[in-house]
């Protein structure tokens, strides 16, 4: 079959391949006898091709290294070669038959002049310098954007989450971040990484919910050239390889099916991967941070999440609180969001008390992400003026009444108490006086609802929505 393929090569095409001036090839057999030499080599060796062919390579050049390549069977790429005062950069390549026996070797030109190599090295150094610069700029951007100080919130649950983040950053153990969508899980992952000893390398993020299951292994573990149809001819490193000496952030890890959880567990536990189509194991050094908005405890009970993987990831457990549990932080978060909007359009806005009361009372199922969307829309509606209650969506305005200016509480504590009182009354009204359902709407335990009702003086007649 191979011979028939060679017969299909036109003689003039084969001659052009061998005689192309950019390679200047010389071919020897297993004994070191010259069997072919290109015309461009005649001047370099100082002998015609007719006189060179049939002679031993050491007769043409006593310093030739081709005999060594015939002995070792190892290629030598990019070596300097000097003859008669002329210097080149060449490659020496052993040639083997179908059974692996060395039957010859070829030496071919890589660069006419070593100065070309120096120029190439200089260009690589320039590119490396640019890469280092951009990496430093990127790291600086990450530090300023995702630092722990940049996470807004001073309430009890937020302080607790920040304290756990600090403890986790001081170690190299896995971290599991759990919380609803939009509660800042990725912000905490970046903050932990930036506070850790691995901060000099970029955090590698993988959204487990966004990768098709059939591509999961190739994306995370990589693949060798030709491993499957459509694979890159050069192969591809996986995300875990890219995270070597850095941090791997597995976002939405609860979305992985059990079959892929097994493979993930092995990599996380053994700290080694094997590319698809590969034959060697790569030992890696990475730190794992995982996050999910799913209730993994319930998934364990339903056997939808592996217990061994859960305990491997859950060394440090960090819970990001939803907005309805940190209502005291909502004013700070709202003005933080407005500052981000101001950085884009140069505006300067404030939020009127009635509008702020509505923001604090609302339950925010989409959390901070929803808060930002609402404020962006409200800021657009308000123009250059303050954000008022009428600029908010109907679901936030519902149940919020405007407090006359002379009755606005004088302290944040009083204002928040008033907002909490309104929220409880609205929950009782919506639930028809059912305290269990009202507590569920407010995201608190029923006992906590009783305590707050006594604290705010909400009596029996108010539970069903009748005026007190």
**What are the distances in angstroms from CA 317 to CA 134, 172, 289, 324, 325?**
33, 14, 10, 21, 18
**240 or 149: whose pLDDT is higher?**
240
> Does any domain span residue 124?
no
302 with 396, same domain: the answer is no
Q: Are 54 and 135 in contact (CB under 8 A)?
A: no
Residues with Cβ within 8 Å of 314's Cβ and at least 6 positions away in sequence, in order, are 174, 176, 296
pLDDT in tens, 394-446: 888 874 433 333 344 446 666 677 778 878 887 787 777 788 878 877 878 88
Task: With beta carbons less than 8 A apart as the criterion, state whether 433 and 464 touch.
Answer: yes
DSSP sequence for 283-330: E---EEEEEESS-HHHHHHTT-S-HHHHHHH-SEEEEEPPGGG-GGGH
Are 247 and 293 spatial neighbours (Cβ–Cβ below 8 Å)?
A: no
| Domain CATH number, residue 63 | 3.30.450.20
Q: Residue 277 sits in which domain range?
A: 132-321
**Is residue 116 assigned to a domain?**
no
CA-closest candidate to residue 441, choices 422, 456, 458, 426: 426
Is 50 exceeded by the pLDDT of residue 221?
Answer: yes
Cα(203)–Cα(191) distance, rounded to whole angstroms? 10
Total domains in the fold of the chain: 3
At which of 79, 111, 143 does a domain end? 111
d(CA 293, CA 366): 12
Distance (Å, whole) CA 83 – CA 193? 55
Tell me what the mean pLDDT of segment 124-153 comes to.
66
Does residue 256 form part of some domain?
Answer: yes
- The end-to-end CA distance of the chain, in Å, is 98
Looking at the structure, tell me whether residues 178 and 296 fall in a common domain.
yes
The least confident of 84-88, 289-293, 336-340, 457-461 is: 457-461
Does residue 452 belong to any structural domain of this protein? yes
| Residue 158 DSSP code | H
Residue 121 lies in a domain: no
Same domain, 312 and 265: yes
Among residues 190, 92, 196, 88, which one has the least CA distance to residue 148? 190
Q: In the structure, what pLDDT confidence band is assigned to residue 462 with cuts at 50, 70 and 90?
A: very low
- 113 vs 255: which has the higher pLDDT: 255
Answer yes or no: are the C-beta atoms of 184 and 225 closer than 8 Å. Answer: no
342 lies in the same domain as 246: no
| Residue 101, pLDDT above cutoff 80 | yes
Q: Do residues 142 and 266 share a domain? A: yes
Mark which of 321, 342, 369 sits at the end of a domain. 321
CA 60 to chain centre: 57
Same domain, 432 and 361: yes
Q: Which of 72-81, 106-115, 262-271 has the lowest mean pLDDT?
A: 106-115
> Both 139 and 267 in a single domain?
yes
Continuous segment of H or E residues that includes residue 93 = strand 86-96
Q: Is residue 84 included in any domain, yes or no?
A: yes
Tell me the pLDDT tens digit for each residue of 7-32.
778 888 888 888 887 778 899 999 99
- Kindly report the pTM of this predicted structure: 0.58
Residue that terminates a domain, selected from 80, 111, 142: 111
Same domain, 105 and 14: yes
Tell whether 209 is covered by a domain: yes
The listed range with the strongest mean pLDDT (74-78, 172-176, 236-240, 356-360) is 172-176
84 — pLDDT class (breaks 50, 70, 90): low
Tell me, yes or no, whether 120 lies in a domain.
Answer: no
């Amino acid at each position: 079959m191979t011979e028939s393929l060679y017969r299909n090569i036109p003689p003039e095409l084969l001659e052009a391949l061998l005689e192309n001036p950019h390679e200047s090839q010389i071919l020897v057999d297993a004994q070191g006898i010259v069997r072919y030499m290109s015309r461009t080599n005649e001047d370099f060796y100082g002998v015609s091709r007719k006189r060179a062919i049939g002679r031993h390579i050491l007769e043409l050049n006593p310093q030739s290294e081709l005999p060594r390549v015939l002995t070792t069977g190892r290629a030598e790429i990019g070596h300097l070669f000097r003859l008669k005062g002329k210097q080149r950069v060449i490659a020496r390549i052993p040639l083997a038959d179908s059974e692996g026996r060395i039957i010859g070797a070829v030496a071919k030109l890589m660069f006419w002049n070593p100065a070309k190599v120096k120029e190439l090295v200089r260009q690589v150094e320039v590119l490396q310098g640019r890469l280092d610069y951009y990496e430093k700029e990127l790291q600086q951007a990450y530090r300023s954007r995702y630092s722990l100080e940049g996470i807004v919130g001073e309430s009890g649950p937020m302080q607790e989450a920040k304290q756990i983040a600090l403890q986790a950053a001081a170690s190299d153990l896995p971290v599991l971040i759990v919380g609803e969508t939009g509660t800042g899980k990725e912000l905490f992952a970046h903050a932990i990484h930036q506070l850790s000893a691995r901060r000099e390398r970029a955090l590698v993020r993988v959204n487990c919910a966004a990768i098709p299951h059939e591509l999961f292994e190739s994306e995370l573990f990589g693949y060798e050239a030709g491993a499957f149809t459509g694979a890159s001819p050069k192969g591809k490193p996986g995300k875990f390889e890219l995270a070597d000496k850095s941090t791997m952030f597995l976002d939405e890890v609860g979305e992985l099916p059990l079959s892929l959880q097994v493979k993930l567990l092995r990599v996380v536990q053994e700290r080694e991967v094997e590319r698809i189509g590969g034959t060697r194991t790569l030992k890696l050094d990475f730190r794992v941070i995982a996050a999910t908005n799913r209730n993994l405890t319930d998934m364990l009970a339903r056997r939808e999440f592996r217990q061994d993987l859960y305990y491997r990831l859950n060394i440090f457990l960090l819970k990001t609180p939803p907005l309805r549990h940190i209502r005291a932080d909502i004013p700070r978060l709202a003005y933080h969001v407005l500052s981000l909007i101001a950085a884009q359009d140069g505006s300067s806005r404030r939020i009127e008390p009635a509008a702020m009361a509505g923001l604090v009372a609302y339950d925010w199922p989409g959390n901070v992400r929803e808060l930002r969307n609402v404020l962006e829309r409200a800021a657009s509606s308000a123009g250059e003026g303050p954000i008022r209650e009428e600029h908010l969506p109907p679901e936030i305005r519902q149940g919020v009444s405007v407090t006359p200016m002379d009755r606005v509480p004088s302290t944040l504590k009083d204002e928040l108490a008033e907002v909490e009182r309104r929220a409880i009354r609205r929950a009782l009204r919506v639930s028809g006086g059912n305290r269990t359902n009202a507590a569920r709407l407010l995201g608190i335990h029923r006992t906590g609802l009783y305590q707050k009702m006594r604290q705010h003086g909400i009596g029996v007649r108010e539970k069903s929505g009748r005026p007190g």
